[in-house]
Structure 1
């Protein structure tokens, strides 16, 4: 069967990554977490002190350092899930913190950051057979993707999911803070000048507010089967 590119875009905390990872594992494709790449750059900025007290980024320094930021993914043999590495160091847990979540949208809005990471992502997809999720995969990274999904859910439901995820990891969390973060990220993602978050014209809309994970998996598998049969 001919391999295709699957692009899953949507709002933050919609469960895109979980959906994409599960699908990739089930169909034998490579999963690429584009959001983790932007989070890794954000973590680099935090660790290098590139944010001032007001949350502004030292853009010139970051631009000069982009060639020193190397992001890769390695499969965890126990979980069979990809783990994010920043310059050879496992940062999977650290990039999921609320601190990184609160700073990632301004970093992802920078044109030179997006340009650098989009080039890396397009290189990863040359052989097809990949599932990638993010904000602009179907519109900017792989506009020719054979299957495009756009995922949405209410801000309150997305905040609750994020809250539950952090609490399950033993991290302190405030639902109100997370909700504000989700709403602010939505605003920034949709209004940024470079590759704003939007549904591609040929993307299939999925509102998963009240779907179980099992129902999502079944729906996504059906869309994959339709797309692959259409390319045969």
Structure 2
């Protein structure tokens, strides 16, 4: 069973995907980390984050095990990842890695921006997780504050709107819900309510 979880930044998709993986006993992949790895590798190599040629070289050679997860978190690397994710060559270079993960015996849970539309279009269960920009900005602000990062709510909200526009407007694999995805708006839900709703969706898909 493959469960595809898509949605914009700070919608809650990562939390839901991890909880679904634990509930069903499936391996989990945060595909956004792959794009963050490419962005981090470019930063570490002193490359311009907008250099598509450099990104194309890095995406075919980077080692997923070479990065400490802490180095992949934070507002700046998230913005950089959104930039490289808009490059067709980068997305193409990461497709095989993601599909290999999804193809494991028994299935897997993957979250990202194009899992249900591009990576695993035949996945039997697809969720598109969303929330209002203001709610997502508040969540991200709390997360960053908890890590000691200084950022204003207004600045984070502007970042989220900019990333939404970039992710939804890119020509290759834009952020959008698959036609057969279930939409889950988490704006007014607690984490536990959202998890329960997600499990109910997946169970219904399995039964169907």
CA distance in 2, matches of 1:62, 1:223: 37
- Is the CA contact 2:42–2:58 (under 8 Å) kept in the aligned structure 1? no
1:177 to 155, 160, 164: 155
Match of 1:144 in 2: 122
Greater helix content: 2
Aligned equivalent of 2:57, options 59, 64, 68 = 64
User: 1:64 offset after TM fit, Å?
Assistant: 2.3
Aligned twin of 1:27: 24
Pairing 1:131–2:109 present: yes
The Cα of 1:68 is off from its aligned counterpart by 2.1
C-alpha offsets along residues 1-31 of structure 1, whole Å, 9 cap, x if unaligned? Answer: xxx1100111111111111001101210111
Unaligned segments of structure 1, at least 5 residues: 72-84
1:153-192 equivalence runs, <5 A: 153-192=131-170
2:35 counterpart residue number: 38
Q: Which protein is richer in strand relative to its size?
A: 1
Secondary structure of the 1:26 match is helix
Moved more, 40-49 or 24-33: 40-49
Aligned Cα RMSD in Å? 1.3
**Native 8 Å contact 1:24 1:30 kept in 2:** yes
Range with bigger deviation, 180-189 or 110-119? 110-119
Q: Is the 8 A contact 1:118 1:141 kept in 2?
A: yes
TM-score (norm 2): 0.95
Report the 3-state secondary structure (helix = DSSP H, G, I; strand = E; otherwise coil) of the residue aligned with 1:40.
Answer: helix
TM-score by length of 1: 0.85
Matched with 2:89 is 112
Which runs of 5 or more structure 2 residues have no equivalent in the other structure?
A: none
SS in 1 for 2:178: coil
Deviations 1:117-147 (A, max 9, x none): 1110001111342111110000000000000
2:42 touches 2:54 (CA, 8 Å); kept in 1? no
Count matched residues: 207
- The structure 1 segments of at least 4 consecutive aligned residues displaced by more than 4 Å after TM superposition are none
Greater Cα offset, 134-143 or 98-107: 98-107
Separation of aligned partners in 2, 1:126 and 1:164: 35
Q: Which residue of 1 aligns with 2:6?
A: 9
Report the alpha carbon displacement of residue 100 of structure 1 after superposing the two structures with TM. Answer: 0.7
* Preserved CA contact (<8 Å) 1:101 1:181: no
**Structure 1 SS opposite 2:180:** coil
